[in-house]
Amino acid sequence: KTKVKINYNNTIYNFSVNLIGKFQLENLHHAILLSVSSGLKIKQILKVVEKLKPIKGRLNIFKKNNKIICLDYAHTADGLEKVILTLKNHFNKNVNIVFGCGGNRDKGKRTKMGKIVKKLCKKIIITNDNPRYENPIEINKQIYNSIKRGKIISNRKTAINQGIKNLADNEVLLIAGKGHENYQIIKDKKISFSDYEEIKKNL
């Protein structure tokens, strides 16, 4: 949760929301302003706000036995950087990551994402995303070459398992790229797979 304090017409309102991250709070702020301008009372709005939940795949937090895991669909350099910094600032812990890049898409972002991960993350696991018609081994090598540390574990299920297993108390694990998706695209086939379900199994 995040504790929020707002001043509306010189009255201070304190409340908690089931969201983390500056950009999510900015979105919430705009939603409150729009609701007020549409004629709703501030007290009505805040009653609803406290019941809000993050959308599936966007900064979903799982906690058990001192382990903290975040599931997010960040698949661009900018999105990935924002999520990592959000986790660092919110939990005040080192961020580990399990991530990959899709095939037959913007190849230039692989190096950009790798450099961000190298700078901001402690333990790094590179894994398969949606390789499509590209060779996943080559995709992972391209990412690794921009980091030069961490592990390549091509099997995404194994990568998630290892990431959670090796998580220390002073770390939070980010599993990035697929979020709410319940499949992997390999060539022209959609193979059933869910990061969300794998996290739950491992916890």
Predicted confidence (pLDDT) per residue in 136-147, tens digit: 999 999 999 999
Whole-number pLDDT of residue 76: 96
Whole-number pLDDT of residue 125: 98
Instruction: For residue 195, count other CB atoms closer than 10 A to its CB.
Output: 26
The C-alpha angle 27, 2, 37, rounded to 5 degrees, equals 35
Q: What is the dihedral of CA 142, 96, 163, 156, to 10 degrees?
A: -30
Whole-number pLDDT of residue 126: 98
* Short-list 117, 86, 112, 100, CA closest to 20: 86
Whole-number pLDDT of residue 155: 98
Secondary structure (3-state) at 65: coil
* Short-list 81, 82, 151, 65, CA closest to 113: 81
Strand pairing category for 11-17 and 124-126:
unpaired
Q: How high is the mean pLDDT in each 10-residue block of the chain (203 residues)? A: 95 96 94 97 95 94 96 96 97 98 96 98 98 98 98 98 97 97 97 98 95
Token pair 């999520």 in the structure block, residue: 83
Contact 191, 183 (CB under 8 A): yes
Q: Is the pTM of this model over 0.85?
A: yes
Report the distance separating Cα 103 and Cα 50, nearest Å.
Answer: 39
Whole-number pLDDT of residue 149: 97
Contact 70, 60 (CB under 8 A): yes
Whole-number pLDDT of residue 100: 98
Report the distance separating Cα 152 and Cα 139, nearest Å.
Answer: 11
